[in-house]
Amino acid sequence: MTEITAVDAPILIFDSGVGGLTVLAETRKALPAAPILFASDQAGLPYGSKSEAEIAARVAGLLGRMSERYRPRLVCIACNTASTIALDMVREVLEIPIVGTVPAIKPAAALTRTGTIGLLGTQATIRQSYVDRLEAQFAVGKVLLRHGAPELVGPAEAKMRGQPVDPAAIRSAVDGLRGQPGGDRIDTVVLACTHFPLLAKELSAAFGPDVQLIDGAAGIARRIAVLCGDNAFPPAPRIRAVTTGDADSFGQLLPHLATYGIDQFDQF
């Protein structure tokens, strides 16, 4: 393996699938000269159906091994499920800055006009006490309706491969929020899974023009930029990807990955 110098050390953006590309895109806007390694744990997908213990062990173990191999300057866990469960454990294991991804409840509470916010995430994310604390801290006096929508992960991954999006999955997620008591008053929806912004067009059409969608990608990128503020970057930064999954399957994504500046990938 080519020796990695401090200047060449990448920002490692980690996700269970390809949803973290939304964070990568915002990070490139904030830090256009930074080298980035996008790590997709497709062999572990989906996280939302796994137990907390399984997720914590897998994420901490993978990031430990990836950090040894790629020696990143910073790690971003671009996955709400992994962050709400494993963020503290990873910070104990790695001695570099770690940026997590948590549901954008704070900005949603500032934006809502009706006082009713919807939250779409995985089953594992919406049940976490971390989300309870965010609600208690930032959404006092608001109503937060949660719905686990694991059925959206598959369509998001399929869309990246140029395949059609199942409209039934979109309708199921929307109905899961709208069908709850008070759901008709939702005017702001937090996309609490980095896969879901990939379906923003479809979700927005289904919710209607009076509902705004919000995710945390831009805020995460700003935090990464602050932590890397004094770093030196190489003159020609590389944007690469690695996957824990099947190489042929991941290779089908290359045309879409190229739009994010990724033109090559390796299997981890």
How far apart, in whole angstroms, are the C-alpha atoms of residue 254 and residue 83?
27
Q: Annotated active-site positions, please?
A: 79, 193
Segment 223-236 mean pLDDT = 91
Segment 183-190 mean pLDDT = 98
Domain spans, the chain: 11-101+218-267, 105-215
Q: Residue 188 is encoded by which pair of tokens?
A: 């702001």
Give the confidence band of 66 by pLDDT, cuts at 50, 70, 90: very high
Give the confidence band of 46 by pLDDT, cuts at 50, 70, 90: confident
What's the whole-number average pLDDT of the chain? Answer: 93
Residue 2 predicted with pLDDT over 70: no
For domain 11-101+218-267, the question of CATH label 3.40.50.1860 is answered with yes
Q: CA separation (Å) from 183 to 43, 79, 88, 121, 128?
A: 35, 26, 33, 16, 21
Residue 246 predicted with pLDDT over 90: yes
101 in Cβ contact with 77 (< 8 Å): yes
Q: In the prediction, which pLDDT does 4 show? A: 64
Q: Residue 180 is encoded by which pair of tokens?
A: 């709850």
Q: In the prediction, which pLDDT does 3 show? A: 52
Q: In the prediction, which pLDDT does 157 show? A: 85
How far apart, in whole angstroms, are the C-alpha atoms of residue 138 and residue 55?
26
Residue 5 predicted with pLDDT over 80: no
Q: Residue 149 is encoded by which pair of tokens?
A: 């929508």
Residue 71 predicted with pLDDT over 70: yes
189 vs 81: which has the higher pLDDT: 189
Percent of the chain whose pLDDT exceeds 90: 78
Q: What is the pLDDT of residues 118-151, one digit of tens each?
A: 999 988 889 889 899 999 999 999 999 999 998 9
Q: In the prediction, which pLDDT does 1 show? A: 44
Segment 230-243 mean pLDDT = 91
Percent of the chain whose pLDDT exceeds 70: 98
- The class level of CATH for 105-215 reads alpha beta
